[in-house]
Chain A
Amino acid sequence: MNFANQVLQWFLDGSHWQGDGGIPHRTFEHLTMSGASVLVAALIALPIGIAIGHFGRGGILAINISNIGRAVPSFAVLVIAVELVGIGALPAFIALVALAIPPMVTNSYIGMREVDADVREAARGMGMRDRAVLWRVELPIALPLIMAGIRTSAVNVVATATLAALVAWGGLGRFIVDGFGLQDYPMMFAGAILVAILSLIVEFSLAGAQRLATPAGLRPSKPIQKEEPLGTARDTAMAAA
């Protein structure tokens, strides 16, 4: 039986769909952990990024926080979390929240700064107070980049959650870690495929949500335009939008 066939047989095996160790339960664990981490991270990161962007202070930190975040290996964060709180779901959650925060802070900051100064002035000239400018002008315009940040974080979290299986948590990473440990390569491949599929689903649904949330007047008319060079946090953020 060739390898592709073995992987297929693994998926077709009914016992792999049942119980705590089955595909549905592991997928559910993985999805809820990822969702919860991104949600909590967003509750922390978005207000910070938006506030910094709105008031225009502390920009250097906001821009660089995603670089700093990227520089910290997620494996290390996970093990440190375990040293702090023990094994299980909690350290995985803490590590994933920590991982998800930086891109969202940077992207929401940049999104807010990208709002054209003229538009802001026009709004103020129309008599809008600060809060109204924020909610009715800045946030809708910044939304694509904010959503891009959430998307980036979400996809990172789904991928990194696989590592949490190394510290006795569950999720789809279990198939990968146990598969490698047992040298059961069909199981491991199956796990990798499941995570990849989940990543893609998350990426596309959030991209769709982003498109829906973007006011019609701001949606790009052509999918690929003359883009600015990437290389700064700002450009990476915009390219992901």
Chain B
Amino acid sequence: MLATGVVGAVVDPWIRWSWVSGHVDVITAALVQHIELTLIAVVVGLLIAVPLGLVAWRSRVFRGPIFSLTGILYTIPSLALFSALVPLTGFTTLTAEIGLVSYTLLILIRNIVVGLNSVPDDVREAARGMGYRPFAELVRIDLPLAIPAIVGGMRIATVTTIGLVTITALIGKGGLGSLIYDGLLRDFKTPLVVGTVLSVALAFVADLGLAGTQRLITPWSRGRAAT
């Protein structure tokens, strides 16, 4: 069947357009679920990563454990993490999200720390000289200057998450991954191709969108050559 063809079977082209036009609702639902799962993961990931990143930045004591823990989470194979959560939290969005958020933490926290570290010392000294108190300095000087690094991390985290969402097809979710999974279960190329192409397209759109957003919110960097 697979690859070698089945005697007497219908020819299975890589894209059967009649399937696509007849399944716009299924494809759209899959795409929407994919976007939902990704957005929630990255937003929640950021909400967790920012405070943890600030702690790791400031505190030498906590930096090690924070990086170790998020690093370990990152090394757990995704299939195992999702599967292991099922008996605890069921075949739910929560299960998928716990896994997806875990994988964003390492890259987000690392980029937050490096971004904050990269704020030039003389800038911070000048701020202190002008009378900025620590919190104000953080919010008005350090974080804004760290934005390229943070958004850079968000881009990587988002694209990685979009890929990982496909694996949640194995625990009843999946987004576009459920099309890919259907392709596997029925040896059916069209949903496989549609799921893959839309997944890649979504990743590109998200990446470019975030890059554009970064340019919008860091007007001072527009003068320099694009990196």
Contacts and interface: CB of A to CB of B under 8 A. Distances in A.
Q: A and B touching (C-beta < 8 Å)?
A: yes
Interface centre among A73, A84, A179, A192 (most CB of B within 10 A): A73
- Give chain B's interface secondary structure class: helix
A124 B153 CA distance: 39
B189 to A, nearest CB: 6
A76 B193 CA distance: 8
A162 B72 CA distance: 17
B115 A229 contact: yes
B179 to A, nearest CB: 9
Contact of A228 (B80, B118, B159, B189): B118
Interface residues of B, number: 56
A40 interface: no
A196 B115 contact: no
Nearest to B120: A226
Interface in A155-184: 155, 159, 162-163, 166-167, 173, 176-177, 179-180, 183
23 contacts: A70-B163, A70-B203, A71-B162, A71-B207, A72-B199, A75-B169, A75-B177, A75-B180, A76-B195, A79-B183, A80-B196, A162-B80, A163-B167, A183-B87, A185-B87, A188-B80, A188-B83, A195-B77, A196-B77, A200-B75, A227-B118, A229-B149, A231-B153
Interface of B: 2-4, 72, 75-81, 83-84, 86-87, 110-111, 114-115, 117-118, 146, 148-153, 155-156, 159-160, 162-164, 166-167, 169-170, 177, 180, 183-184, 187, 189, 192-193, 195-196, 199-200, 203-204, 207, 214, 227
Interface of A: 67-68, 70-76, 79-80, 82-87, 155, 159, 162-163, 166-167, 173, 176-177, 179-180, 183, 185, 188-189, 191-192, 195-196, 199-200, 226-232, 234-236, 239
Given A199-B75, A230-B110, A239-B114, 5 more contacts: A70-B203, A76-B166, A82-B3, A86-B3, A195-B75
